[in-house]
Structure 1
């Protein structure tokens, strides 16, 4: 692992809805909250199903010495974390990690463009407020399916004014990635968080424009993919293992439950530690990570077990482990 994660007892201090499906949750850890920087996230250790599992949530707003604030979208087709968090009442106890940041601002650009899709607004929210407070040149593009799902839109507009633009799918407005990239200053940096389709559209437009990839930083969420989550079968020939991965469980977790060791760290499709070799596949590989390059995805030789899935079939993999 890249770092050790330490958990401390905490309680839910306050909750409020910021959209019909998104709830803002304040978490008060024992001993107070640690400092953090825009783009950071927390790990929560939650009782889900018959066991305990980890979920990561971006921190929103500005750092507070007393509480951490996260915003959680309830996903009826998710793996149980969002439902658990939405059902938590004030006073509920849980375990929380210290903040970690793999999606930080450089603080070196002359212009910043922030792009948020759906619940991807959570890390973008803290970035927008911090950049505006420091008087940086920053523009926001925020998209959602309905206007009511534009979480934190009023706060963003209050901080950025006309530099905040909003796009609503059911009103017929969508972000044109190519046009937005073409309009950006040559030395701009872009920060993206949202569904994989949105992130991929900007990555392709950025690359096509010949802009340096070092100035594009992105984060996505494991629930986003080209296909709806469905059960699929995984074979590990070297270990003689055959398992069914449920629609609400990751391949990595299903393998672990079957006694198959798969290294992992971020569980967000970012670090690549959980990549496994693909031996054969009947069905479509749904790459949901941001670690593999486009060419690596097209080769179809590896996939990130923590978030990626298979649509409509069976996959044979090699985890790199052999029996003792």
Structure 2
């Protein structure tokens, strides 16, 4: 994957916890193009990477086909696992190593009106989708939910870009956003794109099952990195190709341990929703925590996502 150095050219506080960061090449040369839903990976100085969605609120096609800057939105997580803390210490002039854009959350072609739902910092890819839909005059609705208006980053830009397409929901006046109620109201087979915290995604997935939605109608991206659960135990992972054995402690993922040890497994989101890190299971019983596999695939136990899933057995042998 292409990796290049970009300079921080602008930083702006969008809310008390969210800042936008603009990155560009030193002399303003054009950057690789991208489409709505794409993200870039930023390499952390202590090792590892974090993915951040690219933001666009311009109707000019050149903003994404021949961009001279990338704009990211970063929420300060509490506690931070390192990524958001680092991004919130950046200053104009700092240099970051960034990978070329990838897109696991694209807008799919459709003749139907599209419904976008953003929860909190999940607004970042949705803004780019709204810009694409506005520019193409494709019918859409955009629902932006948060705790209160002062928690809604990029609100002014959202209102300017979307106009009457935008609806704002805040918990302090309307209670927690009811995604199932929205989904029940969608009787025209409209595709639904959701990006936000894990409880919102979980509710949308369960609602799609309850309502009998066909696969692919609900599309989502999670903006929360899963943490360890109470009762998590250490276990061993063996790489079938080499016989190398690794101990996975309760507070680390299989993926992170392998990367720290110098292995190079394929991966991207590190949240269990893109499927790129999927590997075969030769022996052992996975503890599935992803959003990719079907119930039957999870029950079969033959594959797993090593960025989030763990083991129910003391030992896993993986097809790596």
Q: TM-score scaled to structure 2, two decimals? A: 0.82
SS, match of residue 110 in structure 2? coil
Matching residue of 1:96: 98
The aligned residue for residue 235 of structure 2 is 234
Residues 317 and 172 (structure 1 numbering): CA distance in 2 closer, same or farther, change over 3 Å?
farther
RMSD, aligned α-carbons: 2.9
Return closer, same or farther for 1:174/1:37 CA change in 2, 3 Å cut-off. Answer: same
Structure 1 residue matching 2:133: 3-state secondary structure: helix
Q: CA distance change for structure 1 residues 256 and 100 in 2, over 3 Å: closer, same or farther?
A: closer
Other-structure match for 1:45:
43
Task: Note if 1:24 corresponds to 2:24.
Answer: no
Distance apart, 1:118 and its partner CA: 2.2
Q: Match of 1:291? A: 292
Deviates more, 1:79-88 or 1:207-216: 207-216
Check conservation: 1:222, 1:307, Cα contact below 8 A: no
Give 1:233 deviation, angstroms. 1.3
Q: Unpaired segments of 5 or more residues in structure 2?
A: none
**Alpha-carbon contact 1:109-1:188 (below 8 Å) kept:** no
Contact 1:109–1:189 (CA under 8 A) maintained in structure 2: no
CA deviations over 1:151-200 (Å, ceiling 9, x no partner): 22232233333432233335452222222112224231111112233223
Report if aligned partners of 1:117, 1:195 keep a CA contact under 8 Å in 2. yes
> Shift of the alpha carbon at 1:38?
0.8
Matched, 1:271 2:270: no
CA-CA distance at 1:89 after TM superposition: 0.3
Q: Which runs of 5+ in 1 are unaligned?
A: none
Higher strand share: 1
Decide which moves more: 178-187 or 89-98. Answer: 178-187
Q: CA deviation at 1:9?
A: 1.6
Match of 2:259 in 1: 256
Match of 1:56 in 2: 51
CA distance in 1, matches of 2:298, 2:177: 25
Q: How many residue pairs align between the two structures? A: 305
Mapping of 1:1-324 within 5 angstroms? 5-30=1-26, 31-48=29-46, 52-61=47-56, 62=58, 63=63, 65-171=67-173, 173-221=175-223, 223-224=225-226, 232-236=233-237, 239=243, 241=245, 243-245=247-249, 247=251, 249-258=252-261, 261=263, 263-268=265-270, 269=272, 270-275=274-279, 277=281, 279-280=284-285, 285=287, 287=289, 289-297=290-298, 302-308=303-309, 316-321=315-320
